[in-house]
Structure 1
Amino acid sequence: MYDIKWIRENADIFDRGRARRGLEPLSAQLLAFDDARRAAIGELQKAQERRNAASKEIGAAMKAGDGARAEALKAEVAAIKENWPALEEAERYAIAELDTALAAIPNTPLDEVPDGADENDNVEIARWGEPRVFDFQPKEHFEIGEALGLMDFETAAKISGARFVVNKGGLARLERALAQFMLDLHTSEHGYMEVSPPLLVRDDAMFGTAQLPKFRDDQFPAGAKIDPVYFTSPADAERAEKAGEVREPTDEERRVIGPPPLGYLILKVREKPQLWLIPTAEVPLTNLVRESILDEAQLPMRMTAGTYCFRAEAGAAGKDTRGMIRQHQFYKVELVSITTPEQSLEEHESMTGCAEKVLQLLELPYRKVVLCAGDMGFASQKTYDLEVFLPGQGKYREISSCSVCGDFQARRMNARYRPAGEKGPRFVHTLNGSGVAVGRAMIAVLENYQQADGSVDIPRVLRPYMGGATRIGGS
């Protein structure tokens, strides 16, 4: 999220950054919103000052015996008081208008990020490993898994609908083994602290990492926004409503909730905080420092978590409808770093290297690309994608995305640190990356390690996690 003061002082830089993302200039409109906000605040302050001054003048006029002036001043104070709610509402509206506009603006790309409109303009900067040459036609992961009888999309659809899967036996264990291997690597060799975070988070947490408000449709809400409250006494219901504890339900809410249970006469509703299933562990991990002031000695702070993730995939209709590439529920090992501004770019290289090490130890060929300005995520200043080669598709597919966000998320979370030798706190920088997506890693293992008889060799590094097994399926 942006500081409007920075936009006022750097309007050209701000608009150029938007242009690199393919967006229209916006500084003039934002500054107009800010002018309206300042004016509304000024009007309220002027009214407050005049009310205070007039109140003092009333006392002086009465002491001087000037009743007519005292009455005129009382009328002026009454008029200010009557107009006060309108002034407060104007101030609230002006502040909300600016805040809403600022919350919807993506981060500005770093100068080093290549220009471009979409994924076709991303720039490959490295490759590792050579794709395997097969002496048979390689299959896609879902063909392999279904032939083994260990990957079941049909039953998952009966239980949960499209974009779910049931993995069984050796594949279920392979998924677990991959996650354990990644967590062990990142904690024992890469210096990350393992965290087991909540999978349900509140609005503020989703706002902090910028999933809300712009990407609301891609999220899974959990629980109702309203809580039914039942009363047997009309007087009790009226008292609760006057106290602001409950309100009258709408017709739609009544329809969803249904009639009061036996023994109760009156239905009211109480607002509940919205909870969301996390789309990535980036959300709870990054928000661990929200509304905090850290000591500089605590930075960089590195955290990792293996969690289930949930995405509605609202914008992915018709994409990757077969198999596990794009699921509503998937497992992922996430990396998050909290740094000073001076540390963040070096940390970005290091984090990406940690994700690369996973693929190298699994002996999976991949390429590294830097995303162009038009293809970057909303909160990112710069992003590296790692794309693993999938023989069944005959192409590279994303398996990890590592981004540096600068202070963009920190401003939304009010996450700061106290620099050594300085008086005031500064905003931290945040980074996040997949270390890596477990489901896609399993896809890559299945396709790269498949054998002609339909079995799948287990990568050497995973065999200790698989009880010493060397193969799934086969004789």
Structure 2
Amino acid sequence: MHDIRAIRENPDSFDAALKRRGAEPMSAQILALDEARRAAIHAAETAQADQNAASKLVGAAKAKGDEAEFERLRALVAEKKTEVSAMQAEASRLDAEQRDLLLTIPNAPLDEVPDGADEDDNQEVSRWGTPKAYGFDPKEHYQLSGVGSEMDFETAAKLSGARFVVLKRGVARVHRALAQYMLDLHVDSHGLTENITPVLVRDEAMLGTGQLPKFAEDSYQTTNGWWLIPTAEVTLTNFAAQSVLEEAVLPIRMVAHTNCFRSEAGSAGKDTAGMLRQHQFEKVEMVTICAADQHLAEHERMVTCAEAVLQGLNLPYRKIVLCTGDMGFGAQKTYDLEVWLPGQNTYREISSVSTCGQFQARRMNARFKPAAGGKPEFVATLNGSGLAVGRCLIAVLENGQEEDGSVTLPAALHPYLGGKTRLVNGDLA
């Protein structure tokens, strides 16, 4: 959420930031609402002061035996009390209206973020690894005989409908091994703290990270009001909600492996083949909570953590910085990692790592107490995939495929697979 004081002080800068994101200028609307809110607060405070002053005179009139003055002042107090109540209600209404409006406005991009309208304007930063040259036409993951029927879309459709999958036998074990490998790498090598979190959360948690109110249709809600998390960003980031942390505990670097749920609203007809885009999937998510002056360095660090997973699996990838028109709602700057998929002959997103600055912290009132003293300040928050497990499985299958349809598995996974090195007809070998 944006700082209303910053909008008051520099409305032109605020509007320029929105324009870079393809949004209409909103400072005039916000400041008009803010002026009305502040006027209502001032009027309520003035009426309250008048009420208090009249209340003091009531007793004095009674003591003097001046019944006429006593009755006049008592009526005045009652009138002011009604007036104060109405003015306070109006101030509260305007305050809620202003907050509701601010909650729908996206974060301001950093100056260094490239301008652009959509993904076509994203900029490549670097590449790692060289796509393998095959002596045959590589297939997509769901076409490989080595995978066989162990990536079962028919049974999943019978159970749940489209965009679900059942993984079996060797394929399921490789999927599990990938998640375990990611967690161990992040905990043992990158110093992240592992957590197991709920996948059902309240409205406040979704609002804090920006999924609500604007993107409710992208998530699933239960009949009793809980939301299924789209990623563990929601739970991990909200650890700091409504808290004042000591600066000494920052930065807090966390990781969690969870099921994730997304309605994929607006993606009808896109990536319908295979398991690239699912309603339910697993992800290893990284979240950092730090002081605002640390967030850029933490962003770069978090990206290297995600890159290490791909490098350890020997999967070629490229790093992209997203343009203003393709960034997520709460992001100030985002790097995407796109892994090479030979079956599609292209790079596809496997990780998105964003710094949100203090945007989410304002929404959830997450602050820290500076060690040097002074008022509490809002923390900065960052989140990123480390990685999407299902997409990583796809990349491992496609990049390791052999002409006979079997799959040679990365050496980093062998210890998690009992020393098995290949996938043949759905079984480990």
TM-score range, shorter chain: over 0.9
The TM-score, its normalising length taken from structure 2, stands at: 0.96
The percent identity for this pair of structures is 60
The TM-score, its normalising length taken from structure 1, stands at: 0.87
Q: Does the Cα contact within 8 Å between 1:116 and 1:372 map onto a contact in 2?
A: yes
Q: Does the Cα contact within 8 Å between 2:146 and 2:424 map onto a contact in 1?
A: no
Residue matched to 2:321 = 370
Which runs of 5 or more residues in structure 1 are unaligned? 225-273
Residue matched to 1:247 = none
Equivalent in 446, 453, 456 of residue 407 of structure 2: 456
Residue 337 of structure 2 corresponds to residue 386 of structure 1? yes
Q: Does the Cα contact within 8 Å between 1:136 and 1:452 map onto a contact in 2?
A: yes
Residue matched to 1:319 = 270
Amino acid of the structure 2 residue aligned with 1:134:
Y
Q: Give me the whole-angstrom Cα distance separating, in 1, the residues matched to 2:82 and 2:306.
A: 62
C-alpha deviations, 1:186-240, integer Å up to 9, x for none?
A: 000011011111111111111111111111111111232xxxxxxxxxxxxxxxx
**CA positional deviation for 1:70:** 2.1
C-alpha deviations, 1:3-43, integer Å up to 9, x for none?
A: 21111012111111101101111111111111111112122
Residue matched to 1:67 = 67
Q: Does the Cα contact within 8 Å between 2:163 and 2:277 map onto a contact in 1?
A: yes
**CA positional deviation for 1:145:** 6.8
For residues 33-432 of structure 1, what are the structure 2 equivalents within 5 Å?
A: 33-144=33-144, 148-224=148-224, 274-432=225-383
Amino acid of the structure 2 residue aligned with 1:300:
P
C-alpha deviations, 1:405-430, integer Å up to 9, x for none?
A: 11111111111112222222111111
Residue matched to 1:238 = none
Q: Does the Cα contact within 8 Å between 1:148 and 1:455 map onto a contact in 2?
A: no
**CA positional deviation for 1:465:** 0.7
**CA positional deviation for 1:92:** 2.0
Alpha carbons of structure 1 residues 160 and 173: separation in structure 2 relative to 1, 3 Å? same
Alpha carbons of structure 1 residues 162 and 462: separation in structure 2 relative to 1, 3 Å? same
Deviates more, 1:285-294 or 1:115-124: 285-294
Q: Give me the whole-angstrom Cα distance separating, in 1, the residues matched to 2:146 and 2:269.
A: 21
**CA positional deviation for 1:131:** 1.1
Amino acid of the structure 1 residue aligned with 2:77:
V
Q: Give me the whole-angstrom Cα distance separating, in 1, the residues matched to 2:305 and 2:360.
A: 22
* Partner SS for 2:338: strand
Residue matched to 2:419 = 468
Q: Give me the whole-angstrom Cα distance separating, in 1, the residues matched to 2:145 and 2:66.
A: 94
C-alpha deviations, 1:156-205, integer Å up to 9, x for none?
A: 01111111000101110011000000000000001101111111111111
Q: Give me the whole-angstrom Cα distance separating, in 1, the residues matched to 2:377 and 2:81.
A: 40
Amino acid of the structure 1 residue aligned with 2:150:
L
* Partner SS for 1:430: strand
Q: Does the Cα contact within 8 Å between 1:129 and 1:363 map onto a contact in 2?
A: yes
C-alpha deviations, 1:268-293, integer Å up to 9, x for none?
A: xxxxxx31111101111111111112
Q: Does the Cα contact within 8 Å between 1:282 and 1:336 map onto a contact in 2?
A: yes
Amino acid of the structure 1 residue aligned with 2:22:
G
Q: Give me the whole-angstrom Cα distance separating, in 2, the residues matched to 1:32 and 1:321.
A: 47
Q: Give me the whole-angstrom Cα distance separating, in 1, the residues matched to 2:121 and 2:293.
A: 29
Q: Give me the whole-angstrom Cα distance separating, in 2, the residues matched to 1:25 and 1:138.
A: 49
Q: Does the Cα contact within 8 Å between 2:20 and 2:325 map onto a contact in 1?
A: yes
Which runs of 5 or more residues in structure 2 are unaligned? none
**CA positional deviation for 1:139:** 1.1
Amino acid of the structure 1 residue aligned with 2:155:
T
C-alpha deviations, 1:427-453, integer Å up to 9, x for none?
A: 111111000100000011111111111
Amino acid of the structure 1 residue aligned with 2:16:
R
Residue matched to 1:20 = 20
Amino acid of the structure 2 residue aligned with 1:27:
S
Q: Give me the whole-angstrom Cα distance separating, in 2, the residues matched to 1:88 and 1:141.
A: 62
Q: Give me the whole-angstrom Cα distance separating, in 2, the residues matched to 1:359 and 1:293.
A: 36
C-alpha deviations, 1:240-275, integer Å up to 9, x for none?
A: xxxxxxxxxxxxxxxxxxxxxxxxxxxxxxxxxx31
Q: Give me the whole-angstrom Cα distance separating, in 2, the residues matched to 1:99 and 1:147.
A: 51
Q: Give me the whole-angstrom Cα distance separating, in 2, the residues matched to 1:78 and 1:317.
A: 61
* Partner SS for 1:92: helix
Q: Give me the whole-angstrom Cα distance separating, in 2, the residues matched to 1:84 and 1:343.
A: 45
Q: Does the Cα contact within 8 Å between 1:371 and 1:385 map onto a contact in 2?
A: yes
Q: Does the Cα contact within 8 Å between 2:107 and 2:329 map onto a contact in 1?
A: yes
C-alpha deviations, 1:307-348, integer Å up to 9, x for none?
A: 111111112122111211111100100111111112111111
**CA positional deviation for 1:146:** 8.9
Residue matched to 2:9 = 9
RMSD: 1.4
Q: Give me the whole-angstrom Cα distance separating, in 2, the residues matched to 1:465 and 1:129.
A: 24
Q: Give me the whole-angstrom Cα distance separating, in 2, the residues matched to 1:399 and 1:89.
A: 49
Amino acid of the structure 2 residue aligned with 1:441:
C
Q: Give me the whole-angstrom Cα distance separating, in 1, the residues matched to 2:293 and 2:35.
A: 33
Amino acid of the structure 2 residue aligned with 1:361:
G
Q: Does the Cα contact within 8 Å between 2:146 and 2:405 map onto a contact in 1?
A: no
Amino acid of the structure 2 residue aligned with 1:462:
L
**CA positional deviation for 1:85:** 4.2
**CA positional deviation for 1:141:** 1.2
* Partner SS for 2:347: strand
* Partner SS for 1:403: strand
Q: Give me the whole-angstrom Cα distance separating, in 1, the residues matched to 2:242 and 2:76.
A: 42
Residue 421 of structure 2 corresponds to residue 444 of structure 1? no
Q: Does the Cα contact within 8 Å between 2:130 and 2:316 map onto a contact in 1?
A: yes
Q: Give me the whole-angstrom Cα distance separating, in 1, the residues matched to 2:190 and 2:81.
A: 62
Amino acid of the structure 2 residue aligned with 1:334:
E
